[in-house]
Amino acid sequence: MKDFKNYINGKWVTSAHSINVINPVDESISAKIYEASPEQVQEALESAQKAQKAWSRLTGVDRGYVMRKWAALIDRNKTKLANLLTEEVGKPITESLGEIDFGNNWLKYYAEFDRRIEGEWMSPDNPGEVMWNIPQPIGVVVGIIAWNFPFAMALRKIAPAMITGNAIVFKPHEDTSMTALALVELGEKAGLPPGIVNVVCGYGNTVGVQLVKSEIPQLITFTGGSETGKKITKMAANNLTTISMELGGKAPMVILNDADLDMSVENAYSARMLNCGQACICNERTYVQSGIADKFIKKFIKKMQKTRVGDPFKRGTQIGPKINKTELEKVRKYVNKAKKQGAEIALGGDLLKGGMFNKGYWYQPTVILNPTQNMEIMQKEIFGPVIPIMQFDSFEEGIQLANDTKFGLAGYIMTNDMNKIMRAVRDMEVGELYVNRSLAESIHGYHAGWKNSGIGGDDGKHGLEHYMRRKTVYLKYQV
């Protein structure tokens, strides 16, 4: 059994309380991590605060140099990291390899900002004066993430914090801490100064609360559920701490009569089934215009029937298990309730059983037909391999149904009508809109939610903004 320690102020430390990392495939114990004690959490925050000043006074080129060395080490250890990722999350190894590359791109991309973070020179109001605006680091960052993409989301927080001259105290999810700790081990080899990146493991209601309530951090950046995000926002408000929240989603896919049918089936499938449906921008509810609904449903069910579920380490496996028992039971509850409320279970609808599926957290690929808009299955985040499909008549109705949710993270539209595309761009209430394609954002875009899906955002040049403060300087000189 592997043993993973916390990383605080450049030291690897244990604590009195350990947490078992459960393999979701068979419920075996993969590793042991250590819940950071209150004293260790405080040490991490204080060491970050102390180290940040010197780090911020380096040039961007110096910071970028460390980040590039780190990225090179990740490339050389890609297979090892991907194996850890598959072991702790249960995602297919091909997806894990892709996540390592995707996550590492944040280090490489933000390292390029070593000469690109710029201020502004402005015209003064008075003669004999100059004025300019300077971007400066915000200070200590606390990063907290969910479990579904633990490697990529770690670097999504760490890389922008580093290049802007901040230090970060990072808390991975207790179910998926192995890759974050392995990642920082490589960072240490790349020359990370002590205190600049700290990793403290543990539960949200202990370690997470202490981090958020502390007066030391100047930014809390969180990826996870909307209800947890609201709690963090309230706690951070006591210290007026800046927040960036990337929260839950209930992404709609609207498929119009003129859409390419085969492409729509492929996109609806891949946008739902990535990581066993455990992605905040997954296709959570599919709306198909009535003119093609029957053909779409027939083709889609056939596609779902061919899904290869099984050992995530085997090439060709398309989905693995859910992450844990709690998440598995949540999916089961939503499907059972939809069935009781009158929806039709056209495929699947229960736990997988038999053989290797007698252990672990396995759910059948499931298609639900004829749901109504007010059902939980259409309003709450499923986060599993389950697709409810609902028919609609007009374009206007499709957009109205898509917007009928408290979430607004991502959305999809399938159509060849450019006029309808532009109207959807204008009217769909989401931070990301995918037109005639499946999911996967780009690192230089801006990943941000509307409504209950978040405040602030990640990625690209706009994702750097909340990692910095702005200072305006007025200088008077002798004329």
Residues assigned a catalytic role: 246, 280
Could you tell me which of 15, 20, 11 has the C-alpha nearest to residue 35? 15
* First-last CA distance in the chain: 73
Sign of CA dihedral 177, 179, 182, 188: negative
Amino acid at 8: I
Could you tell me which of 275, 308, 281 has the C-alpha nearest to residue 86? 275
Kind and range of the H or E element at 169? strand 167-171
Q: State the Cα–Cα distance between residues 300 and 241, nearest whole angstrom.
A: 46
Could you tell me which of 213, 210, 218 has the C-alpha nearest to residue 238? 213
State the greatest distance between any 2 C-alpha atoms of the chain, in Å, as a whole number. 87
Residues sharing a CB contact under 8 Å with residue 108, sequence separation 6 or more, in sequence order? 67, 68, 71
Q: State the Cα–Cα distance between residues 95 and 98, nearest whole angstrom.
A: 5
How many Cβ atoms sit within 10 Å of the Cβ of residue 360? 20
How many Cβ atoms sit within 10 Å of the Cβ of residue 220? 26
